Chain A
C-alpha cells in the first residue's frame, strides 16, 4: 500500500512569491491534514480537509490556504512568502473511522531566501 506522497520534496523561493505544495493521501483515506514544522517551533497544525471541505484551521494567517479535490488529493498554497515560512510542510491522511490514526508523508522542505 502506497503511503502519503508529497511533492515537491524541496523548494526554494524568495520573499513575496507564492508556492503550491501537493499531497496525495493513502488510498481510501478521505481526510487530509497539513502541518508546519519550523525550526525551533515544533509541529503545528495548519489545516484539515475532509470530503472537499475545510473542517478546521490552525492559528495561521489567511495567506495560508488550500483545497481538496474530488480524488481527495490536496494542495496547500502560501501567498506573499515571508522568511519565517521556511519550514518542513507535512501532509497527513486518515480514514473515516473515528479513531483511525493520521499517517504522514515525508514533507516538502521550503526555503525562503
Chain B
C-alpha cells in the first residue's frame, strides 16, 4: 500500500501557484519524497525529490515540514499543460520500487 495520502482532486487558475499537499506520517528517516506527474496516456514524468531540505528546480519547489510528516509541491505559475495526475511517493531511494497511490488530479482552469 502507498504510504502517502493526497487529496483526489484540486483546481488552480492559470498563472497562479498550485500547491499540492501530501501526508506521509509514517515516513522513515532514510526515505525520500518523490513527486511525479502523469498526463493522460503518457508515462509518469519525474518532477522533484528531497530528503529533509526544501528543494527547487526548473519545474517546481518541494517544501518538506521539519518533522517530515508532510510535504507540498509548488508549481509557481500553473499553465494548462500542468493539468495532470500528481503522485507523491516515499521511497528508500531510486533503486527501490516506487509504490504509486491514487494521486491528485490537478485541473488548471483558464
Residues of B near A103 (CB, < 8 A) are: 46
Residues of A near B102 (CB, < 8 A) are: 42
Q: A99-B32, A99-B51 are in contact. Are A31 and B43 (CB under 8 A)?
A: no
A94 to B32, CA, bound (A): 15
In this complex, the member of B34, B36, B94 whose beta carbon has the largest number of chain A beta carbons within 10 angstroms is B94
Please tell me if the beta carbons of B95 and A50 are within 8 angstroms of each other in the complex.
yes
Residues of B near A45 (CB, < 8 A) are: 97-99
- A selection of 17 A-B contacts at a CB cut-off of 8 Å is A35-B98, A43-B98, A43-B100, A45-B98, A48-B97, A50-B95, A55-B95, A56-B97, A58-B97, A90-B44, A92-B43, A92-B44, A99-B93, A101-B34, A102-B98, A104-B45, A106-B41
How many A-B pairs fall under 8 Å by CB? 62
Residues of A near B96 (CB, < 8 A) are: 56
Q: Please, which residue of chain B has its CB at the minimum distance from the CB of A91?
A: B43
Q: Does B21 contact A (CB under 8 A)?
A: no
Interface residues of B (CB under 8 A from A): 32, 34, 36, 41-46, 49, 51, 87, 93-102
Partner of A101, one of B41, B42, B49, B87: B49
Tell me how far the C-beta of A66 lies from the nearest C-beta in chain B, rounded to whole angstroms.
Answer: 14
Q: Please, which residue of chain B has its CB at the minimum distance from the CB of A45?
A: B97
Q: Please, which residue of chain A has its CB at the minimum distance from the CB of B48?
A: A101
Instruction: Tell me the interface secondary structure of chain A in the complex.
Output: strand
Q: What are the nearest 4 A-B pairs in CB distance?
A: A104-B43, A45-B97, A43-B100, A94-B94
**Chain A interfacial residues counted at CB < 8 A:** 28
Please tell me if the beta carbons of A42 and B101 are within 8 angstroms of each other in the complex.
yes
Q: Does A1 contact B (CB under 8 A)?
A: no
Q: A42-B102, A99-B51, A101-B49 are in contact. Are A33 and B43 (CB under 8 A)?
A: no
Partner of A43, one of B44, B45, B95: B44
Contact pattern, A 44-72, Cβ under 8 Å of B = 1, otherwise 0: 11001010000110100000000000000
Residues of A near B98 (CB, < 8 A) are: 33, 35, 43, 45, 92, 102
A98 to B34, CA, bound (A): 13
Tell me how far the C-beta of B1 lies from the nearest C-beta in chain A, rounded to whole angstroms.
Answer: 11
